[in-house]
Structure 1
Amino acid sequence: MTNEGIERSRLFQQGSIEVICGPMFSGKTEELLRRLRRAQIAKLKVEIFKPSTDTRYDPTAVVSHDLNSIQSTPVETSSSILLLGGHTQVVGIDEAQFFDDELPNVCEALANKGVRVIVAGLDMDFSGKPFGPIPKLMAIAEFITKITAVCMACGAPASRSYRLIKSSETVLLGEKESYEPRCRICFNLDK
């Protein structure tokens, strides 16, 4: 192997944190699945986790709105990820906004052990405020991919999740009956 090849190999073995964020219906889970499948094709050992509270499509699989899926391990706390994902090369975490505030520390510990950690989640809640552990994860991540959806009111790029039903609860599981993507202007028009 050449010196350049050895250097690239070392970089690949270093741990890292990647965050995929954006509003609902932007393709975050789809992008997470794409990256995890590529890691599997590369014959890397991959573990996938999701919060046990997210049972919208399937109790154990991570499922995108397009119904693409991959088996995962539902966990109640982020510390479980550290216990179950410590002997792998790639850890995928979906719906990260629903995890406790320890998730950034868990991801950091995994990355420090040489694990590639790929996290997907909403960066803002229904009111446009930073959501759960995602902001801190974005601060410590090596790579951030912010994806937009299409505004259902005007067709512009949408960066927010607009709640269609009345509720002040921060966490309200739902799909198209409860939420739609909106651009900044249309989001603020109907507040």
Structure 2
Amino acid sequence: MYKKFSEGMIEVITGPMFSGKSEELLKRIRILEYANIKTLVIKPNFDTRFSENEIISRSGAKISTHSVSSADEIRELFKKKNYKAVAIDEVHFFNKDVLTLINELADDGIRVIVSGLDLDYLRRPFGIMPYLLSMAETITKLQAVCVRCKNAASTSFRKVNSRNLKMLGDIEEYEARCRSCHIKGEFTKMQEVTKMEEAKKNVD
């Protein structure tokens, strides 16, 4: 059955690192451009890995963006021009205030497209993403390729021993892994930490 949505709606693009979320977001922004739909493009100013004022996918596609730190900044930018759509990359880095804004925009007939990680490096729901997933009219869940077994990967495995939830990184710090390989990796890291702690006790 063909479903026709109203103008105001929320679309979520999600999945692990290296699954092409930013690429998919950029593709949708380009389509909106072709349709002459003026779109406000946003990313968190926290994320400066590839650029401070562009969204850049790993394939090299890119587009200029506004880097902001809060929902209030997005709201002020939106007021300045007659935007009909808003696109937000790495939305999981924003706090809960952005949920209210996204819902208000969709209620006012604005198309909102966001992309972000659904799970953190420990396979737990990431920040505001569970709320966005429940609010959205459409959800696109992408998969990467597990670097260990080459099956579909749905998780982001952190290779370094850091507990900082908002630690930025790329292939040096993270790997895409399937559920099974992620569990094995966490078990191996736990064993390594235990060995280090035992070695330190022996030295002391």
- Of 122, 127, 143, 2:122 maps to 127
Per the normalisation by structure 2, the TM-score is 0.86
Q: 1:187, CA displacement in angstroms?
A: 0.5
The answer to whether 1:148 aligns with 2:143 is yes
Partner of 2:34: 41
Matched with 1:102 is 97
1:60 is the counterpart of 2:53: yes
AA at the equivalent of 2:116: G
Which 10-residue stretch deviates more, 83-92 or 139-148? 83-92
Question: Is contact 1:21–1:123 with CA below 8 Å preserved after alignment?
Answer: yes
Deviation at 1:94, TM superposition (A): 0.2
Kept in 2: contact 1:158–1:181 (CA 8 A): yes
SS at match of 1:190: helix
Partners in 2 of 1:92 and 1:135 — Cα distance?
A: 18
SS of 2:26's equivalent? helix
Which residue does the alignment assign to 1:15? 8
Return the alpha-carbon distance in structure 2 between the equivalents of residues 79 and 22 of structure 1: 27
Matched, 1:185 2:180: yes
Please give the root-mean-square deviation of Cα atoms over the aligned residues, in Å.
1.1
Distance in 2 between the 1:23 and 1:60 partners? 23
Structure 1's consecutive aligned runs of 4 or more residues displaced over 4 angstroms after TM superposition are: none
- Which whole-Å deviations, capped at 9, do the CAs of 1:37-89 have from their partners, x for residues lacking one? 00000011111000011101110101111121000000011222122225311
Contact in 2 for aligned 1:51/1:96 (Cα 8 Å): yes
Report which stretch shifted further, 150-159 or 75-84: 75-84
Q: Is the 8 A contact 1:82 1:110 kept in 2?
A: no
Q: Secondary structure at the match of 2:106?
A: helix
Work out whether 1:159 is the aligned partner of 2:173: no
Q: 1:117 aligns with which of 109, 112, 122?
A: 112
Counterpart secondary structure, 1:37: helix
Tell me the amino acid that sits aligned with residue 143 of structure 1.
Answer: T
Q: Structure 2 CA distance, aligned partners of 1:20 and 1:109?
A: 19
Separation in 1 of the partners of 2:59 and 2:172? 16
Return the letter of the residue paired with 1:61.
Answer: E
Tell me by how many angstroms 1:95 deviates.
0.4
TM-score, normalised to structure 1's length? Answer: 0.92
Amino acid at match of 1:22: G
Aligned-partner Cα distance in 2 for 1:171–1:122: 12
Q: What percent identity do the matched residue pairs reach?
A: 41
- Return the offset for 1:183: 0.3
State the match for 2:196 in structure 1. Answer: none
Work out the CA distance in 2 between the residues paired with 1:78 and 1:145.
23
Q: Secondary structure at the match of 1:119?
A: strand
Paired position in structure 2 for 1:83: 76
Distance, in Å, in 2 between the alignment partners of 1:17 and 1:175 is: 28
Q: Where do 5+ consecutive residues of structure 2 fail to align?
A: 187-204
